[in-house]
Amino acid sequence: MKWLRPPEDERPVRPVVDEQALEKALEVSRGVLFKHSPACWSSAKALRHVRAFAAQHPDVPVYLVDVLAQRALSMEAARRLGVPHESPQAIALVDGSVVWSGSHWEVTTDALSAAVVN
């Protein structure tokens, strides 16, 4: 039921679907940008870790870019952050700067916590 969903800013993982949402994701004081391919099983596994991190740390915004549907936004994020594109890929940001990035099996709840929370 659509009316039972929390507002977008209160969802554990916020979708990045346009330039404005990407801008917001890149300007957070602490946050995670996750590049996800819904066609990839390793990305599905990494997404479980990202969702677990989001649930454990609701004060840290987590943004998701679907690399198939939003390829241009994914590439723009890579360009602006200076992090070569991979998928799945998590990028931890503090004050707009990349403090950690990991891909595939490096994307774990513990790795995200260590990068952003500690």
Half-sphere exposure of 9 (CA within 13 A, CB side): 2
CATH of the domain at 65: 3.40.30.10
Give the number of domains in the chain: 1
pTM of structure:
0.89
Please give, one letter per residue, the 3-state secondary structure of the chain: CHHHCCCHHHCCEEECCCHHHHHHHHCCCEEEEEEECCCCHHHHHHHHHHHHHHHHCCCCCEEEEECCCCHHHHHHHHHHHCCCCCCCEEEEEECCEEEEEEEHHHCCHHHHHHHHCC
> Model confidence over 45-96: pLDDT tens digits?
999 999 999 999 999 999 999 999 999 999 999 999 999 999 999 999 999 8
Domain that holds residue 103: 10-116
> Model confidence over 5-45: pLDDT tens digits?
444 444 589 999 999 999 999 999 999 999 999 999 999 99
pLDDT score recorded for residue 14:
95
Considering the domain boundaries, does residue 4 fall inside one?
no
Cβ-based neighbour number of residue 17 at 10 Å: 15
